[in-house]
Structure 1
């Protein structure tokens, strides 16, 4: 099978791809897709979860950045809602006076 892979990639003019490269790509895709590290670690048959995190933990930084942005957006939205409610309450109080 590996010989067929090497032959086909050579025919296509692609760089040589080894099984380890495919394994690394698979792990990266799993983690980028949001599959938990524990599941990826077991799938890859790493001895410990720490091995998986040490090898692929850098992929979490992008996810962490996105999480911070999403949280900030949620806070901005909540602040806008509270401000709007306060404005409505203030207008009602002025009309009642």
Structure 2
């Protein structure tokens, strides 16, 4: 009987410790997820790019309004490619978050 009480006490104590420390882990501020795109705002693909940009921003807003992804907010970054390959490749070299 005494051994059973000790085992029960040990198990309950271990569970309280485990669940007690979970609050500390989940209470930490989570960094936002970065989502990037390259949509042309001017030039040959500007009209389509502007529409795609607005659609992407709408999707990010809906995800954030629903609570994010696994509790993390989504941050949207768009680079204007200006319908030029040189601008696009230069922007990718500068911005390492892509």
Tell me the TM-score normalized by structure 1: 0.30
Q: Which has the larger share of strand? A: 2
Tell me the TM-score normalized by structure 2: 0.30
